[in-house]
């Protein structure tokens, strides 16, 4: 991955195409598609932990935990902080808020839906469909 995924998701406000937006959201959700990473999020709520502490609680090797944390860090979901010899990881609250907002929009059946008023399409997708149908009829 190149840079934090959540930053790409927020680019929607800057005119990113719906296809790109869907691709970026799918990439973000893929990070949390692994049970171990979901468990890491649960363990990091409200506190920072090092790889050793996470490995002991997850019953996973330190190397395995490090790989999961690298993916989560690349996605911007966790932040790392060096404390002496150890690196502690904590949740990136800003990224979580951005992800929550995007997931809420995705699951909201009314968000982004095309609405018609007196037979006139109101959204760009409906307008494109109407123009495409009209051009085929001509």
Examine the pLDDT at 130 and tell me if it is beyond 70: no
Examine the pLDDT at 18 and tell me if it is beyond 60: no
Structure tokens given for 35: 């049970």
38 vs 26 pLDDT, higher one: 38
Examine the pLDDT at 64 and tell me if it is beyond 80: yes
Which of 49-53, 57-61, 74-78 is predicted least confidently?
74-78
CATH number for domain 5-107, candidates 1.10.10.10, 3.90.660.10, 3.40.50.300, 3.10.20.30:
1.10.10.10
Neighbours of 23 (CB within 10 A): 13
Give residue limits of the domains in the chain: 5-107, 114-138
Query: What is the spatial distance between Cα 64 and Cα 10, in angstroms, rounded to a whole number?
Result: 30
How much is the pTM? 0.69
Q: What's the confidence (pLDDT) of residue 80?
A: 95
Q: What's the confidence (pLDDT) of residue 2?
A: 46
Contact between residue 25 and residue 102 where contact means Cβ atoms under 8 Å apart: yes
Across the beta sheet with 78-83, the strand order is: 49-50, 86-91, 78-83
Question: What pLDDT, in 10s, does the model give residues 79-112?
Answer: 999 989 999 999 999 988 888 888 888 888 887 7
The mean pLDDT value for 21-35 works out to 85
Q: Name the average pLDDT for the chain.
A: 80
């Amino acid at each position: 991955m190149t840079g934090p995924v959540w930053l790409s998701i927020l680019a929607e406000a800057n005119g990113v195409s719906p296809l790109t937006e869907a691709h970026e959201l799918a990439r973000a959700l893929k990070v949390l598609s692994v049970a171990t990473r979901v468990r890491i999020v649960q363990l990091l709520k409200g506190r920072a932990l090092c790889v050793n502490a996470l490995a002991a609680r997850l019953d996973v090797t330190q190397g395995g935990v490090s790989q999961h944390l690298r993916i989560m860090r690349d996605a911007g979901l966790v932040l790392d902080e060096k404390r002496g010899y150890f690196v502690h990881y904590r949740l990136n609250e800003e990224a979580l808020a951005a992800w929550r907002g995007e997931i809420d929009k995705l699951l909201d059946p009314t968000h982004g839906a095309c609405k018609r008023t007196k037979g006139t399409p109101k959204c760009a997708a409906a307008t494109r469909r109407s123009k495409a149908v009209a051009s085929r009829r001509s």
